[in-house]
Amino acid sequence: MTTSQAERDAMRRALALATTPGVPLGPNPRVGCVLLDDDGRVVAEGFHRGAGTPHAEADALARAGSDARGTTAVVTLEPCHHTGRTGPCSQALLAAGVRRVVFAQADPNPVARGGGEALREAGVEVAEGLLAAEARAVNRAWTFAHEHGRPFVTWKFATTLDGRSAAADGTSRWVSSRPARVDTHRLRALCDTILVGTNTVVVDDPRLTVRDADDRDLPVQLLRAVMGLRELPDDRRVLDDAAETVLLRTRDPHEALALLRARERQHVFLEGGPTLAAAFLAAGLVDEVVAYVAPMLLGSGRSSVGDLGIATIADAHHLDVVDVTVLGEGAETNVRLTMTPQRPVPLQED
């Protein structure tokens, strides 16, 4: 089914509404909705503000009131078809007398999907797929978690040009520049979990909070997850009340992610040491790599990643570079590389 220019413009507006500043990144998806009359004029707009609040469609319908009858609802995500903390949006649209529904992304959540088909069966015109890629990007981690049954994993590390995360004597302050550290906190704030190993906590005693440019904790913090079997000293800062902390008593990356998924976590920021990084890489559980490269050479010291069991260049892990950004200048320069691992292509059976 074709869509009009007014509907395409409305979808772009709905995507902007979905990404309204302050809207939580989880556990619910970010969704926007615009109601149009028959002439393509905006009747009302709405967006979802987080778990327990009205969904985008319900928000827009409430603002439109009786004017919602006969409109076209343009929504960034397929209207839900289940009852959770709020009722199904598919039924709300039907009850309001909406004539046509245009949505971007099909709902990957098996519990909530089905709204599009239910609306069709009730006689509502339904068009799907408009700006679907853009809509998926809005809820990248949420979509990934539902499609793969585990959180999306971003591995972040700082390294010298020759691949060292610390000098031979163990010192590492500062491989990353101040602009890189500020940028790291920006990336932390896009996730809902930060994950390190017990050795990092024992040796480095990090706080693992999200802070602003003045090093002040932000009001909303992510979950601090510490993975491993080693006992932690009671005085470690990760055990303070600045944010919630969970201890994952396992060394298995698959099990760790399963435990976090059970807590409805969607995006893990992996900031552990080289051993933990190697474990996740070897398990094929790294989905994005962010490296802050300092223009310095050490020649020896701790490697940025542990042993991957690779003996020949043919077995190397290859990454696709998707972004290169220079942060800072002079002695405070770092280059941020954002990369995605190349996934092996399955062999086709004859």
Among 3.40.640.10, 3.90.380.10, 3.30.1340.30, 3.40.140.10, what is the CATH number of 5-139? 3.40.140.10
Domain segments of the chain as ranges: 5-139, 149-341
Closest to 223 in 3D by CA, of 247, 244, 197:
244
List the chain pLDDT tens, one digit each, 350 residues: 689 999 999 999 999 999 999 888 888 999 999 999 999 999 999 999 998 899 999 999 999 999 999 999 999 999 999 877 778 999 999 999 999 999 999 999 988 899 999 999 999 999 999 999 999 999 999 999 999 999 999 999 999 999 999 999 988 888 999 999 999 999 999 999 999 999 999 999 999 999 999 999 999 999 999 999 999 999 999 999 999 999 999 999 999 999 999 999 999 999 989 999 999 999 999 999 999 999 999 999 999 999 999 999 999 999 999 999 999 999 899 999 999 999 754 444 44
Which residues are the active-site residues? 57
Q: Which residue type is seen at 271?
A: E
CATH of domain 149-341: 3.40.430.10
- Other beta carbons within 10 angstroms of residue 141's beta carbon come to 23
pTM (predicted TM-score)? 0.91
The DSSP secondary structure of 232-279, one letter per residue, reads PPTT-GGGSSSS-EEEE--S-HHHHHHHHHTTT--EEEE---HHHHHH
Cα(322)–Cα(326) distance, integer angstroms: 14
Cα(229)–Cα(231) distance, integer angstroms: 6
